[in-house]
Each structure stands twice: as structure tokens, then as C-alpha cells.
Structure 1
């Protein structure tokens, strides 16, 4: 028996979970997975409370019942013609192997049957600044009324569509599927229902389901392969050892790269390192030569390889390293800075310890921005050069712009135009981009992978973005009294991040050429 989640997750994990469950008995759940699950549960509860408080005709299935009782209650509610059913569970299907549930079923008054609507804790659309063709199809939360929405664009989410088709197939079995062949998703922010045309993914769903149920029933063999999901999987230590022993090509070319290489007859790192000639015909993953160099570097134990004869990085008289900490999509609670002038460095944090989202976030952001712009202005007035640095600017750019929009008009808050003028200018420097342009990184390009090569190490052995989410929950008292020790831990983690960027930049400027081999020499 499998649910829709298995359709976009690892095939080999499905095999291991069902055939060797005792081998991971007692293995703790990955902290990042747990946090996302808890956040999703809280999000669904908030959506439920908001929706069920409005209008009549609701049937809320008791989540405390057994799965069988919940399924019987769901069928009874549909038979009675309930307008909306929350927490619907459909009867498991031993013959097909399907099991599934939907946060919401909406009666299709125009055509009969029910429309599945799922609640997800990620963004499903992006706003547009002006109306444009090819927008999303959305519906009001409280009245099912699909219409073209030119002010939103869809964020593609195949996993959402496949889950909706899974529920549709189960409704179809009992004669309750709407002939409209549509489903809906309520995402983070829950200001609308995004309407999906399920006819576009029916064939893909049927293909994937047939494959996964064959795996679950032991009818096809699976092998491990390195994919993004691996890092949070309880089987990863076992699989990674096997992959390294096999010298499997996915160790250095993870995900779909490995699939393309296997299709070209390359299954090991050694075969990839020895590749001669043009790239495989269907290679669509950047410069193929990088993959070959990565394999050569792995065989020699090299953490980095230079793409260029001489490494360069932008420097200035006054340098400020910036690192932002956010909690999921709720807000940016900390802007950490490191001011570097004349060989001295001073860390300064601009933080709010009110749980985000909070208006106090506007205060801390305004103080950060004001300080940064004042430092910049004083530097320029003194006839010196200025630069601000981050590592992988996407997160910082997002929260700079989002904060300007969310707190527009409040004291000290810059305009979106001011933010854009700064981040699109020459003084905002992304060290991640400088690393990407000038190095091939066999172990990954994350700051915690690259900075140790330059000699920097974090004080906290557990330091990571995922771990900081747990620390933050304790620091602000999500489950009890605020833990001041965890606040200190977060500040030290943030301070180490900005110092790491500084150390890496200085190393690139002074020592990288001598310490890192050039790709052309491998």
C-alpha cells in the first residue's frame, strides 16, 4: 500500500522501508524533516480553522478515529451530498495498492462529484506587478469559482498535481470524481485556491504509480543513487557507503545527471574521469567538462579545483559581510554584519526575538538598513571604496525586498526601488558566485563545504541552516519559555557565517592560486 508521497520520492527508499523496516527501528527523525512536518501540521490547522468558521454545509471528519472509520465517515458524507468535507480519508485499495486522503473535498454543484483540494506549506503562485497572459487559474477560498488570474503566475509543483490525481483516481473508484478533472491547492499564505488541470498529468501519474507499486511489491529491483532527498533519509549512511564502495557515478554527479550518464554507459566515477570526446547528446546540466574534472578531483581527494589560472575577488577599503537568518516563510529575524576596516573586524547583529511574523521585525530591519547605508555614505564621503558581501544572495535579496514591501511606510523602511538600486549595483557582492565562476567543487559549493578549505571552521559542531530552525523555536519560546542560551547560540552561528565569508574572500585573494590545482593540469 502506498500513498501519493511515494510518487516523487526515492524508489530505493521505498524498497528498503517496506522490506527491511527493523534495520532503522529507533533511528531518529531528521530535524529538518520534523520541523517541516510540524510546520505543515500547524499550517493545515490554521487553514481548517479559517475555512470551517465560514458558511454552512461543512462536515469535519474526526481525526481521532481509525482510518477505516474515517473512510466510512467520508463516504457517508459524500453520499449525503455534503458541500465541503474536511480531513477526508478514502478507503484503502488492497488490489490497486492505493491509500490516500485529502484535506478538503468540494462538491461540484455544476457537474456532480467532488473536487479534491490539498493544503500545502509552500508557495504555489507568485504575484505579478501587472496583468499578463498565461496567468494562473484560481478560485476564492470560500466559493468554488475558477477564473483566470492574470495577476498571479503558477509555481510548478508536480508533486501537488500527482497527489491530486491520486485522490481523483480513488474518488473515481467510488463514483464520486468530478468529471471536470480538476483539483486545487491551498498554499502558504492561503489567500486563494490554485486550480490544477489534472488531465495534463494523468499519464505521468499512471506511469509513476505502476512503477512504485511494482517496487513496493518486490516485482522490480532498485539500486541506491545519490539524490537531494538522501541527506534527510535514515538509510543514507547505509546507501552512501555502498555508493562509495561501488564508486558509483552519482557520488559526483547526483540526481538526474547520473541518469543521463548511465544512459551513456557511464556508471562509475572512474569511467566519467576517463571520458574523452563530446558530452552525451542529452546532457543539459551545464558544462560537461566540469563533471569530468569533478570525477578526477574526487579520485585524487581534491576538495576544490581552479577553473581559472588566477583567482580574483572584488575588494574594498571598507568591507561589510552580511548574513540573514529567517524562520521558514514567516520572516527574517536577524541581520548579522561584520564591519572590516584597516585590519579590524567588528560583528554587529540586528535582531528581533519576538516570534516572526512580528512588527518588531520592521524595527530590526530598519536599524540594519540604516546602519548599512550610513556606513556606505561615510565611506564614500571619506573618498574610500565600499563593498558589502553575502554568500548566495538569493535569500538575502528575497528578504530585503519582502521586508521593504511588507513594512512599506514604516519608520526607516527603504522603498523597493532603493533596495533594487543597491542589490543590482556593483557594491553588493555574492561570494558564492565568485566561487562558482572560479572553482569546481566536488563536495558541493555551500559555505560550510568551501570555507574549511580556506581554514575556517564553525564553533558549533551542529551548525547548519536546518539546526538553526530548531534553535530559533527554542530561542523565542514556541513550545515554552524562551531559551536565552539558544539566542546566544544563534548569534554565534550567524557571527561565524559572516566571518567565514570574510576568511574565504581573503583566502581567494591571497592564497587560492598557490593551494588549489588548476583544472587544466589534472
Structure 2
């Protein structure tokens, strides 16, 4: 086995990224992290500092030595201080670093180690939500989730929450449990171990059973260490992780050069094609015969063939039907929400079009808070947005007119519509969860993203930034995008010590306005005549008959 030493980050995600990260440095040019990756790292660090300060404050009355914060500058000193604190029997060890296990190839740190019996259990802090609210707990049913308050380890069944498990969190805790076990410091046998998980809300410690994950962790660790040691060969493939990977420019060039099929077909479907001997986009575009027997997934096989043909011929979209269609109404409101990571939604942008009155101006209206998230002022701006939207809807109904509100990919908007109702339900004007759910499920809430998928085969993705330019819309800011807007927002409000630059607020408002205008242009184009210039997917498929 090679000498590679793996941390928690190396246990999940793209295997080829792992191989590149551990490649000899004279063979590989190290690429910097993307701005998005750096933003996430900085946000996570800020959240961890906040939570650790909270825990330290809750333990402020404990005797000297009960709570130890490890603040040494380098890893070796931090590990020594952590071991010394364990030897002394400290109850809480904050910012703990375990000694690097060179022989087994493991390194790890925990935001906290909590003493239980003769050993310790690991607790980690993450910058995403780890539970969801259970609206109506079932009477008489014992909850499967255990949670503990932040001030100590007192696990109890929790009927108010459901666990949002993420594999990377479980793998990190499993690695820490394995390292503590090797040190003889785990509080229980490894197959009975648990860990603690504190999420973005930082309102409890979620108890994560680790015994059942031990076998998965061991197998994963063995394979990952073999990859890092150069014993298992990997190759690039396009996956969702590529969007934020610092190696993507290198991998994209290699994939494009060999016209790799993963550029148009990803995931398990791409593997099915490779198993069938279809390795390039050109081979897929020329495919004849029945689809592979083991084809599974949401994307029909015929769509992948059409996508490959479009990619080869530089066709942006192909029509599924002769006349594309999208729901239209007398009064139309385009909506776009802006959020920052898991912290909340700071802006709801709207654009109203009255198709019954040409003299009524099409006006962009944003509902926004510039208080750094998370903030109660988020609830105020959401209440104002909801009141305006319902007023326009009710006015249309009263006038005997049809009404529809449009978004692009309702998953994000729906999440924050529901989340805002749940979190700010005690504030004036905030709707109930039932009211939000009723609106979301009605015909008056239209997802243009779904309309695009229903009407077109999209060889290069269905994101608004890719599709709207086909309809003739372009953003005023060349840097406009989700990643850039995160940086703009952090500067606009001076988030987490960032130097405040209020000029970025105007930039965010312009970006949001362009998003809602792009949605309007796109849905009007779908129901117009210019769209008929695109080829029909059936005609492209007929070429292979």
C-alpha cells in the first residue's frame, strides 16, 4: 500500500479528482481552487467558529480543565495538545486534532471531542442543514432520530425532526471513530459507536449511528487509498462535481479531445453506454438498434442520441413536438429568488406583465433584505413579497382574468417558500405552510424549467443561462451567475468580516432583474413562432432508422 494519507474530504466525490490531487507534482500542474470552492470553505470556517464559541459559552461555568480549546498553530502541536487533554480527562475538547496515523494513512480533526465513560465520541460542525422539520409527528410512533442539546450529551428521541443524511458527514465521523478506536480512545466498541453532528441551524446535536457504516467506510477507505497511491487507475468523466472542481479545465480539455460520451450523458447511464462499447459522442450520434437492455434512469435513451447529434452539429436545442407550449395567462408574474448558501433567501424579484392592458408598464419589483443572513428581517421581506403576489393574484381573479406566476426550476423557490413559512410563521404577514403548499400545487405556479424539459432535448443542459440566450436574451453583466452572486452578496452586506461594498447591491438587483426578464423572454419565445426554426428530435432520430 502506498504512503498516501487521507482526510475526510478524500473519502467521497470524484475518484479521478482524488487521483489528480495525489499525483506527483512534477507531472501535474496544481490548479487553484475555484472562487465558489473558496467561498464555501470560508463560510464553513466562519460557521464553525460561531458554533464553537456558542458551545464554549454554554460551558463557561465548568471547573478549570473541564473544557479545553486547542489553539496551537501547527498540526503536530494541536495533536499533542489534544492527546494531553484526553489524558487529563477533559470533558470537552474543542478544535481537536488527532495524531496522523501514518501507518494506516489517516488524518482527521473534530470540532469537538466529548468524553463518555473511559473514552470520547467525535462531534463535527457542518455548514448545511442536517435535519428537516416534521410538520405532523405521528402519534404513538417512536421517532428513529435521536438528538441532544448543545450543552451536553443527553440523547432523546426527537419527533420534531427528520435526519438529512449526507454521506460525506457519515464518512468523516466514521474516520474519526476509526482513529479514536486505534488510539484506544473510543468510548464504546467500534460497531456500537455514534458521532455527533451539528448543522447550520446549530440548535441540537444529531446522533449519528456509526456501527452500520463501519463496513462501508472500511471498503471505501481501502479503495480510496489505493487510488491515491497510484494502484488503481482512474480517468476523467463529467459528473455534477465538475462544476466546482479546480481540475475541471484540465479534465474538460481531455474529454473534449477524445469526444467522451460523458459530456452529454452522465452518471449510471454513461456507464451503461461504456459497457455497451459506446465511448464517444460520435458513436452515440450514429447509434442504431434498440437501447441497451440495462438502460435505467430518468433520461430516455432516444434523448441521449438526439443530444449527441446536436452536440456534433452544434444545434442548441431540438423540439420534442411541432408546436412547443407553455401555460400562459392574462396576468403573468415572473419570480426569481436569491439565497446565500443555507443561510436564507435575501431577495424575491418579480416582473409583472398584464397581457390585457398594453399601457400598463412591465415593472421590476424586488423584495429584499440587506441585513446579513441569517436575519429576522428575511421574514419581513418575504412577507412583503407574499402580500404583493397574493394581492395581484386576487385582483386578477376579481377582474375575471387568469393569473400565473413563473419561476425557473421551482425546487429552489419552493424550498425557500416553505422554509420561510416554517421559520417566520410567527411574524406578521408571513403565510402558513398550508397556504404556501396550496399555492405551489396550484396551476397558478408554473415552472418554466419543466416546460423546457417537456418541449426540448437540451444537449448542453437546461440551466437558464444556457437556454435563455437561444431565445435571444443576454445578461447585462458578463460575470452574472450563481457563483459570482455569492461573492457579490458577501461584499454587499459585509458578511463574516468581508469588507462591505454597497455598490454590489445594485449589481445584485440588476442580476436578479435580468433573471426574471430572461424567464419572461424564454416563455414568450416558447409559445411564439421563432422556436419553429429548431429541428424536431423525431427527424434527427429518423436518420438512424
TM-score by length of 2: 0.90
Give, in whole Å, the separation in 2 of the partners of 1:483 and 1:331: 20
- 1:116 partnered with 2:122: yes
Partner-residue secondary structure (3-state), 2:73: coil
Cα distance, 1:313 vs structure 2: 0.6
**Paired residue for 1:143?**
152
**Paired residue for 1:474?**
491
Give, in whole Å, the separation in 1 of the partners of 2:185 and 2:523: 61
Moved more, 313-322 or 276-285: 276-285
Going from structure 1 to structure 2, the CA distance change for 1:292 and 1:417 (only over 3 Å counts) comes to same
- 1:15 partnered with 2:19: yes
Going from structure 1 to structure 2, the CA distance change for 1:173 and 1:355 (only over 3 Å counts) comes to same
2:367 to 350, 362, 387: 350
Q: Which runs of 4+ in 1 moved over 6 A?
A: 22-26
CA deviations on 1:336-361 (whole Å, 9 max, x unpaired) are 11111245522111222222233333
1:43 to 44, 47, 53: 47
**Paired residue for 2:166?**
157
Unaligned regions of 5+ residues in structure 1, if any? Answer: none
User: Any conservation in 1 of the 2:31–2:247 contact (CA below 8 Å)?
Assistant: no
Q: What are the residue-to-residue correspondences of 1:69-88 with 2, within 5 Å?
A: 69-88=77-96
Unaligned regions of 5+ residues in structure 2, if any? Answer: 541-545
- 1:53 partnered with 2:57: yes
Cα distance, 1:480 vs structure 2: 5.8
Moved more, 74-83 or 133-142: 133-142
**Paired residue for 1:307?**
320
Moved more, 407-416 or 117-126: 407-416
- C-alpha RMSD of the superposition: 2.1
Q: What are the residue-to-residue correspondences of 1:94-105 with 2, within 5 Å?
A: 94-105=102-113
Cα distance, 1:138 vs structure 2: 2.1
Cα distance, 1:252 vs structure 2: 0.9
Number of residues paired by the alignment?
A: 520
User: Any conservation in 2 of the 1:24–1:235 contact (CA below 8 Å)?
Assistant: no
Cα distance, 1:513 vs structure 2: 4.6
Cα distance, 1:476 vs structure 2: 1.6
Give, in whole Å, the separation in 2 of the partners of 1:364 and 1:400: 12
CA deviations on 1:73-109 (whole Å, 9 max, x unpaired) are 1112222222221111111122222111111112222
Give, in whole Å, the separation in 2 of the partners of 1:193 and 1:409: 25
Give, in whole Å, the separation in 2 of the partners of 1:427 and 1:374: 14
**Paired residue for 2:177?**
168
Cα distance, 1:205 vs structure 2: 1.3
User: Any conservation in 1 of the 2:113–2:120 contact (CA below 8 Å)?
Assistant: yes
**Paired residue for 1:404?**
421
TM-score by length of 1: 0.94
Cα distance, 1:167 vs structure 2: 1.0
**Paired residue for 1:221?**
233
2:258 to 246, 260, 265: 246
**Paired residue for 1:519?**
537
- 1:131 partnered with 2:144: no
User: Any conservation in 2 of the 1:247–1:268 contact (CA below 8 Å)?
Assistant: yes
Cα distance, 1:293 vs structure 2: 2.3
